[in-house]
Amino acid sequence: MNQPENRPYYTPFLEKYIGFLSTLLKWVFLGALIGVIVGSTSALLLNTNDFLTDVREANAFLILFLPVGGGIIGYIYKYYGMGSRRGNDLVLEHIHHGQGSIPIRMGPIVFICTFISHLLGGSTGREGAAIQMGASISEGVNRLFKINKIDRRILIISGISGGFGSAFGAPLAGTVFGMEVVALGKMKYEAIVPCFVASLVGHLVSTAWGVKHDHFLFENIPAITSTTLIQVALVSIIFSLASVLYSQIRHEIKRLSDKYLNQDLVLRGVVGGIILVALVYITGTRDYLGRGLPMVEEAFKSDVPTFAFLAKIIFTAITMGFGFRGGEVIPLFFIGATLGNTLSNFINLPASFLAGVGLIAVFCGAANTPISCFLFSLEMFNGKGKTYFFIACLVSYIFSGNHGIYGAQKIYSPKS
């Protein structure tokens, strides 16, 4: 309307086109930058975790230092945390409200505390550390390039995607994980380009750093019939309830330890460590310490203890509820795979297949990210059994209601 007469008629098209291309290039550039850094830190995280797990397994006495380690972690967060103690929830809230800032030190601190947790045998994984590092790095990029408020949130989501994609070797699931995890029942399409670039580049970079990912295989997949479809739907309800059980126990332990020991984060960590050590001696096994990957593999091959899933729920809820660091996704894999194996005694489906369904469904019920979890099943199991996994993700997502491990997930639309 206000267009000067002497501009050629195609100017607005050209301007629109240039605007589009420059926005796109911006996202590709920033996403790739985040991907390169996050991919490298994820490689550091994974390789160090592997190394520390080996050290712990070779030195049985190390677990006796769990109370000391818990105390040190509490000390670090108390005096140097600057609010980063709230971890994933802080990141999610920041994306919702866009107020304040994410402390850049959140990344390095969560890495150090994750290393301590792994060295001493806390039952934990990696996803929290990877996500928080991803968010910290994105925040660094935001400050460096003085990114505006709206774009900042998108880049923090990309940091989550980059962290997840590189930490689990699953670039497609990573892309959608960032877009889905922020709010329950909503997908942030506007973040799709930088999320994908960060996740894929992060994966390629961590692979280039020599990271190898665990792949679990199931022997055979039942042919699709109405019976098998209904069976998978029904067991997925059980998996979903297991995820709810875990989320609730963990929140409750955290609530209680916050209530009685929050004044003294150091004491809290010490108490958590003592409980873990006591549990190891009461149960007489170390199978539920650390990531527990050997038993996850076992669940795909032969039998596991009937209540292994319950033991892992308790070990992990205590580890995370008392302030140790790492992540909950690998413990959730453990819980799901062992529960699936146990259920194969009652249901006429192959144990390794049920372990696979359980691994995905328990993760999905806890994270509330159905499309991402489905993509993860494709990437982990190479596209096998996709209809079953879709059902498992859907059912688990629906039945976990508004429970989940990410307390700050916004509830955008109720599930039913």
Q: At what angle do helices 66-80 and 106-120 cross, to 10 degrees?
A: 170
Minimum CB–partner distance for residue 44 and a second copy (Å): 22
The string of DSSP codes covering 365-413 is: HHH--HHHHHHHHHHHHTTTTHHHHHHHHHHHHHHTTT--S-TT-EE-S
Minimum CB–partner distance for residue 176 and a second copy (Å): 8
- Which x/- pattern, by CB under 8 A, does the window 163-202 give for a second copy? --------xx--xx--------xxx-xx-xx--x---x--
Q: Residue 307 and residue 304: Cα distance in Å, rounded?
A: 8
Minimum CB–partner distance for residue 11 and a second copy (Å): 18
Nearer to a second copy, 187 or 279 (CB): 187
Let me know: does 309 contact 242? Beta carbons within 8 Å: yes
Nearer to a second copy, 287 or 379 (CB): 379
> What are 410's strand-pairing partners?
183
- Which x/- pattern, by CB under 8 A, does the window 72-111 give for a second copy? ----------------------------------------
Piece of the chain touching a second copy by CB under 8 A; list 52-60, 290-298, 355-363, 379-387: 379-387
> What are 184's strand-pairing partners?
411
Query: In terms of Cα–Cα distance, which of 244, 333, 246 is closest to 294?
Result: 333
Q: Residue 239 and residue 337: Cα distance in Å, rounded?
A: 10
Q: Residue 384 and residue 218: Cα distance in Å, rounded?
A: 9
Considering only residues 5 through 64, tell me which ones interact with a second copy, judged by CB under 8 A. Answer: 20, 23-24, 27
> What are 411's strand-pairing partners?
184
Query: In terms of Cα–Cα distance, which of 175, 197, 192 is closest to 378?
Result: 175
Question: What is the DSSP code (8-state) at residue 288?
Answer: T
Nearer to a second copy, 88 or 175 (CB): 175
Piece of the chain touching a second copy by CB under 8 A; list 73-81, 157-165, 356-364, 374-382: 374-382
> What are 183's strand-pairing partners?
410
Nearer to a second copy, 188 or 268 (CB): 188
Residue 303: count other Cβ atoms within 10 Å of its Cβ: 14
Piece of the chain touching a second copy by CB under 8 A; list 122-130, 303-311, 345-353, 370-378: 370-378
* Distant-in-sequence, close-in-space partners of 51: CB < 8 Å, separation ≥ 6: none
Minimum CB–partner distance for residue 377 and a second copy (Å): 11
- 112 touches a second copy by CB under 8 A: no
How close are the terminal C-alpha atoms of the chain, in Å? 47
Nearer to a second copy, 80 or 412 (CB): 412
Three-point CA angle 400, 406, 409, nearest 5°: 90
Piece of the chain touching a second copy by CB under 8 A; list 157-165, 319-327, 333-341, 389-397: 389-397
Piece of the chain touching a second copy by CB under 8 A; list 42-50, 249-257, 323-331, 397-405: 397-405
Nearer to a second copy, 86 or 415 (CB): 415
Q: Which phi and psi angles does 183 have, rounded to 5°?
A: -135, 140
- Helix spans in 126-264 (H): 127-144, 149-168, 171-181, 192-208, 226-261
Let me know: does 134 contact 170? Beta carbons within 8 Å: no
Size of the site for a second copy (CB under 8 A): 40
Can you say how many angstroms the Cα of residue 285 is from the centroid of all Cα atoms in its chain? 26
Nearer to a second copy, 129 or 235 (CB): 235
Nearer to a second copy, 32 or 343 (CB): 32
Of 296, 313, 378, 405, the residue at the interface with a second copy (CB under 8 A) is 378
- 229 touches a second copy by CB under 8 A: yes
Q: Residue 202 and residue 205: Cα distance in Å, rounded?
A: 5
Nearer to a second copy, 105 or 415 (CB): 415
- 223 touches a second copy by CB under 8 A: no
Residue 27: count other Cβ atoms within 10 Å of its Cβ: 23
Minimum CB–partner distance for residue 16 and a second copy (Å): 9
- 263 touches a second copy by CB under 8 A: no
- Residues in the site for a second copy, rule: CB under 8 A? 20, 23-24, 27, 171-172, 175-176, 185-187, 189-190, 192-193, 196, 200, 204, 226, 229, 370-371, 378-379, 382-384, 386-387, 390-391, 394, 397-398, 401, 412-416
